[in-house]
Amino acid sequence: MKKYILASFALVSVLASAQETPFKFKELVNNAALPIISQGKTGTCWSFSTTSFLESEVKRLTGKDVDLSEMYNVRYTYPVKAYNYVYRQGKAQFSEGGLSHDVLNSVRKNGLVPNSEYTGFTAGTDEKHNHEMLVKDLKVGLDSIVKNPKKFLTKDWKTNFDQKLNKKLGVPPTKFKFEGKEYTPEEFAKALKINPDNYVTLTSFEQAPYYSQFILQVPDNFSNGSYYNLPLDEYMKVLDEALYSGFTAAFDTDVSEKTFSKKYGMAIWPSEGLEKDYFTEILPEKWVTADERQAGFENYSTEDDHLMHITGILKDQLGNQYYDVKNSWGTNDLGNNGHIYMSKPFFRMKSIAFTVHKDALSKEVKKQLGIK
CB-neighbour burial class of residue 104 (10 A; exposed 0-12, middle 13-18, buried 19+): buried
User: Active-site residue 45, yes or no?
Assistant: yes
Triad 97, 102, 105: Cα angle to 5°: 160
* CA–CA gap between residue 2 and residue 343 (Å, rounded): 21
Q: Please give the full DSSP string across 108-123, using - where no structure is assigned.
A: HHH---BGGG--S--T
Select which of 115, 229, 327, 336 is catalytic.
327
Contact 82, 159 (CB under 8 A): no
Instruction: Determine the Cα–Cα distance for residues 206 and 292; give it in Å rounded to an integer.
Output: 11
Sorted by sequence, the CB contacts under 8 Å of residue 192 that are 6+ apart come out as: 58, 61, 62, 64, 66, 112
Is 327 marked active-site?
yes
Cα distances (angstroms) measured from residue 240 to each of 29, 48, 285, 361: 10, 22, 19, 11
The total number of residues written for the chain in this structure:
372
**Among the listed residues 110, 108, 106, the one whose alpha carbon sits nearest the alpha carbon of residue 47:** 106
The SS3 of residue 258 is coil
**The one catalytic residue among 30, 45, 221, 229:** 45
Which runs of consecutive H residues, i.e. helices, occur in the chain?
Answer: 45-62, 70-87, 100-110, 132-147, 149-152, 157-169, 185-191, 232-244, 290-298, 344-350, 363-369
Tell the burial category of 294 from Cβ atoms under 10 Å away from its Cβ (0-12, 13-18, 19+): middle
> CA dist 181 to 59, 187, 192, 195, 257, Å?
19, 11, 13, 20, 48
Torsion of CA 295, 301, 307, 309, to 10 degrees: -60
Catalytic residue among 101, 129, 131, 306: 306
Compute the distance between CA of residue 216 and CA of residue 195 in angstroms, rounded to an integer. Answer: 23
Question: Which sequence positions are flagged as catalytic?
Answer: 45, 306, 327
